[in-house]
Amino acid sequence: MDCKSNPFHFFERLVGRKDYGLRVGTYRVIADIDSDTKRIMLTLIGLRKNVYQKMR
């Protein structure tokens, strides 16, 4: 299974938000997933320890 065919298998919905997160080692990828157009739009990539502070 790849991310293109089912991104919801890899990404987790962030609590209280519309976007999704993906853990990649010490980094976190924040993305919006549009299932209608089948697009994953990356909005933020950063270290896990401080990426959520940048989202405010």
pLDDT tens-digit map of 8-51: 889 999 999 999 999 999 999 999 999 888 899 999 999 998 99
Q: Nearest 5°: phi and psi at 19?
A: -95, 175
pLDDT of residue 1: 66
Q: What's the pLDDT at 6? A: 84
Long-range contacts from 23-30, C-beta under 8 angstroms, 24+ separation: 23/48, 27/51, 28/52, 30/55
CATH class of the region 7-54: alpha beta
pTM for this prediction: 0.84
Angle at 14 between CA 43 and CA 37, to 5 degrees: 55
User: What is the model's pLDDT at position 52?
Assistant: 83
Structural tokens at position 5: 């065919």
CA distance 12 to 52: 14
Q: What pLDDT was estimated at residue 5? A: 78
